[in-house]
Amino acid sequence: VQKIVVHNGLVYTPTGPLEHAWILIEDGVITAIGQGQHPACDTVIDAQQLALIPGFIDLHVHGAAGCDTMQATPQALYTMANYFAKFGVTSFLAATITESAELTRAAVQNIAACVGPIPGGARLLGAYLEGPYINVQAKGAHTLEHIRPASKEEYIPLLETGVIKQITIAPEIPENIHLIKECAAYNCMPVIGHCMADYEQAHYAIALGMHQATHTFNAMSGMHHRAPGTTGAVLTNDAVTCELIADNVHVHPAMLKLAVRAKGADKIVLVTDAEIGTGLTPGFYDFGRCQRHIESSGVYLPNKTLAGSVLTMNKALYNCMQATGLSLADAWPMSSYNAARQLGLEHKKGKIAVGYDADVVIFDASTASIAMTIGEGVILYTNSDLPFFMKEFHERTSNATCSK
């Protein structure tokens, strides 16, 4: 049994932070948590009194570092998984974008082939279908020509792959109602978004099972005091958990605060909506299938439409804490546990607790930096910009006692 202990940490458990605490990891699972003297182990990691929080789960992310889900190659997903791990992500859904039936099928089949742990990277939990069943009037960066009403001939084979966990659907399109009702049978969450549904239509859709909102505020009918729209419906209906892109560009910090106050931190899921250009140096890029202007604020189409964020999950959590004034103890579930719950994985992911997968981030909440990412007991990333941390890590590792 491979044993790892991470000690000298501020461990954020579901009941609150534990100081000078340690967690014991055996075969990828957290088997004990304590304070003070830790058990002897093969590998001993000194957390330098930094925070230990659950590994981030990014539900809504299209790509990064020049790769995306639509490339439909294992290499693209591996590149993404490895990039995300550097920012504390230990599992994610790979999101598609509105495309032809052929490309959508290829992307979903590729995800089906790669789903599971990815060497050196975050675990691929499945697919998030964003489009094509959306409203042309709320298309955002999606391609107009491929937006279409849902048809059984197309979506049943996609759902039958079993890897589609979430689908963004515009519920005001009559042909889409059947799909919304069908999702539950495939263990898939219909997500309301890229839509112009009015308040009543949105409420009806929520009653049909749309218990999540796609990047709340962005690409949905807005909130007016006499016409609350989809935005007003998802912010006030307790059945809905709201995704937020907390990059301060897609959503103003005041609106982040408004959303967290309206919903409570337990009904917010922070997502990056990062895409192919995320992580690249600013400039113009031609990726073949698409062109992008990458700026420090975000990723843009050639016509300057915002196409995605340059956000990473560590920054999302940090920005949300800054906007709301919430402490890490109150904020961390927005970056992990709530997403696990939305996926039905709350019994094994999203908490630092005995019996849970050892998905752990050593996080400096004052700077948003990641010191280390551990996914299912495997060290996925160590921050070499923290030399003191690294030195301690190597010393402790080489002196480690083996208790096999």
Tokens linked to 303: 């016509």
DSSP 139-160: -TTS-GGG-----HHHHHHHHH
Q: Residue 204's closest CA among 242, 176, 246?
A: 176
Q: Residue 138's closest CA among 246, 215, 206, 37?
A: 215
Other CB atoms within a 10 A radius of the CB of residue 259 amount to: 25
CB 343 within 8 A of CB 125: yes
Other CB atoms within a 10 A radius of the CB of residue 139 amount to: 18
Distances (CA, A) of 281 to 286, 368, 391: 13, 20, 30
CB 273 within 8 A of CB 92: no
Gap between the Cα atoms of 222 and 259, Å rounded = 13
Task: End-to-end CA distance of the chain: give it in Å, rounded.
Answer: 7
Report the catalytic residues: 273
Q: In residues, how long is the chain? A: 404
Q: Residue 205: enclosing H or E segment and its boundaries?
A: helix 199-207
